[in-house]
Structure 1
Amino acid sequence: MRLAYLQLALSMALVGANVAVAKLLAEALPIAMVAFLRCALAMLVLWPLARWLDGPVRVAPDVLRNLALQALFGTAIYNAGLLAGLRLTTALEGGLVLATLPAVVAIGGALFLREKLPTRQWAAVALAATGMAAITLARTAGGVAGSALGNLLVFGGVLGEATYALLAKRIAGRVPVITASLWMQAFSAAVLAPFALPDIGAAATLAAPSLAGLLLFHSLTASVLCLLLWYAGLRRVPAGMAGVFTAFLPGTAALVAVTLLGEAFTATHAAGFALMMGSVAVATWPRRGEGR
């Protein structure tokens, strides 16, 4: 069980670290190019993994349509919102905005999947909204380096990722995880190609080893390793308990932003961080009897 906890924590920590990596890539390359190359590199790894671990899999047409929608929202729109937003806001605030994901998924489940939203989920939504309001109000008073528009774009990415999560529930168990991820990366690359290929000359920037290394790390961790670690942990840990480990996302994003990017961590950020972490904990903490 300790190994499963470590796998879940490392998965979310890598997602958080990728916020800062994505910011650096978005400042050096066109947004569509970053997302397209991430998908292409992930496909090179996922294809042999899918053949090895999942074997030949026939995917039903309705599942393929669902996977195409998941790719549109969970890869294309999520990455476009995240990368565009990080060009304007800080990695620290981008990570805080991403921490609203559990609350947004909870609301989406209630509205579109007719799932009952318990009181604690409403409390999580309120905490997340208050955290967002804290960093927004601080900026209007001055002294905060982020961007309201940038945070809004990142939140647009959150909406895309939440839609992906809700769509995934419709086909849960009908296709192996790695095969599903391979199809999603392929669909995403197809969607992004018309936007990325006109700027293909910008790929020459990747001649710099540091930038190429960042892109490789971003693709292999965010699109491959995080996925494998997360689902490996879920084999031993109930989903309700596993959700608690999403707290590592904003925590790692904040740590990397402050230590490696030199971003300022203000008292307002601390308050917003505490509220966001509280939101994640309330939204995902298992109810009595879960995880036994």
Structure 2
Amino acid sequence: MRLAYLQLALSMALVGANVAVAKLLAEALPIAMIAFLRCVLATLVLLPLARAMDGPVRVPPDVLRNLALQALFGTAIYNAGLLAGLRLTSALEGGLVLATLPAVVAIGGALLLRERLPGRQWSAVALAAGGMAAITIARSAAGDGGSALGNLLVFCGVIGEAAYVLLARRIAGRVPVITASLWMQVFSALVLAPFALPDVGAVAALADPSLAALLVFHSLTASVLCLLLWYAGLKQVPAGMAGIFTVFLPGTAALVAVTLLGEAFSGVHAAGFVLMMGSVAVATWPRRGGGG
């Protein structure tokens, strides 16, 4: 179990670290180009992995349509919101905004899938709203409206990722994970290509070895390694317990932003951080006895 816990924690920690990486990439390359190249690199890695681990798999047409929608929301919209938002806001605040994901998924499940939303989930939503309010106040106090807009764009990305999660529930277990991820990356590349190719000249910036390394790290960790680690951990840990490890996302994002990017961490940020971590913990902590 210790290995499984380590796999889950490392998966979410990599997602959090990628917030800072995405910010650095967004400052150097067009947003659509970053997302497109990430999908292409991930496809090149996932193709042989899917063949080796899943074998030949026939994917039903309705599942392919669902995967195409997942690609639209979970890759195109999520990355567009995240990368555009990180051009305006800090990696620290972007990571805190991403921590609202469990609460947004809970609300989406209640509204769209008619899932019952227990009292503790409403508590998680309230904590997440409080965290968002705290970092908004921090932005207002700093007189930086642009960052508030950046936080809003990142939140739009969160909504896209939540839609991806809810869509994934419709086809859970029907297609192996690696095969499903491969198709998602293919569909995502097709969706992003018309927006990325007009800026193909921007690829020349990747002649900088450090920038190219960041892109490869971003692609292989966010689209491949995080996935493999997460589902390896889920083989040993119940999904409800695994959800607790999402606290590593905002934690790592904050740590990287402050230590490596030199971003300021104020008292209001600390309050928002505590509220966000509380929201994730309340939303994902496993229930006892099936109660809400």
Short-chain TM bin? over 0.9
Q: Deviations over 1:72-93 (max 9, x none)?
A: 0000000000000000000000
1:175 is matched with 175
CA 1:254/1:146 → structure 2, altered by over 3 Å: closer, same or farther?
farther
Q: Unaligned regions of 5+ residues in structure 1, if any?
A: none
Which residue is 2:267 aligned to? 267
> What CA deviation, in whole Å up to 9, does each residue of 1:157-216 have, x standing for no partner?
000000000000000000000000000000000000000000000000000000000000
Could you tell me which runs of 5 or more consecutive residues in structure 2 were left unpaired when the two chains were aligned.
none
Match of 2:235 in 1: 235
Match of 1:208 in 2: 208
* 1:141 partner SS: helix
Q: Secondary structure at the residue paired with 1:227?
A: helix
* Corresponding position of 1:186: 186
Partner of 1:252: 252
- The residue correspondences of 1:71-90 to structure 2 (distance < 5 A) are 71-90=71-90
TM-score with structure 2 length normalisation?
A: 0.98
Give the equivalent residue in structure 1 for 2:279. 279
SS at match of 1:264: coil
Distance in 2, Cα, partners of 1:268 & 1:146: 18
- Mapping 1:28-107, distance limit 5 Å: 28-107=28-107
Q: 1:11 to 1:146 in 2, by over 3 A?
A: farther
Q: SS of the counterpart of 1:173?
A: coil
Note the C-alpha offset of 1:244: 0.2
- Note the alpha carbon deviations across 1:92-120, whole angstroms, 9 max, x for none: 00000000000000000000111000000
SS in 2 for 1:36: helix
CA apart distance, 1:256:
0.2
- The 5 Å alignment of 1:120-199 reads 120-142=120-142, 147-199=147-199
Q: Is 1:19–1:91's contact at 8 Å kept on the other side of the alignment? A: yes
In 1, Cα distance between the equivalents of 2:134 and 2:216?
Answer: 35
Q: Whole-Å Cα distance in 2 between the matches of residues 4 and 193 of structure 1?
A: 37
What code does the residue aligned with 1:83 have?
L
Structure 2 CA distance, aligned partners of 1:106 and 1:3?
28
- The two structures, once aligned, show a CA RMSD in angstroms of 1.1
**Percent identical across equivalent pairs?**
86
Distance in 2, matches of 1:38 and 1:62, equals 26
Length-normalised TM-score, structure 1: 0.98
Aligned length: 290
State the match for 2:14 in structure 1.
14
Residue 145 of structure 1, CA deviation:
9.3
Q: Deviations over 1:221-246 (max 9, x none)?
A: 00000000000000000000000000
Instruction: Provide the rounded CA distance (Å) in 2 between the counterparts of 1:183 and 1:220.
Output: 16
State the one-letter code of the partner of 2:14.
L
Letter in 1 for 2:39: C
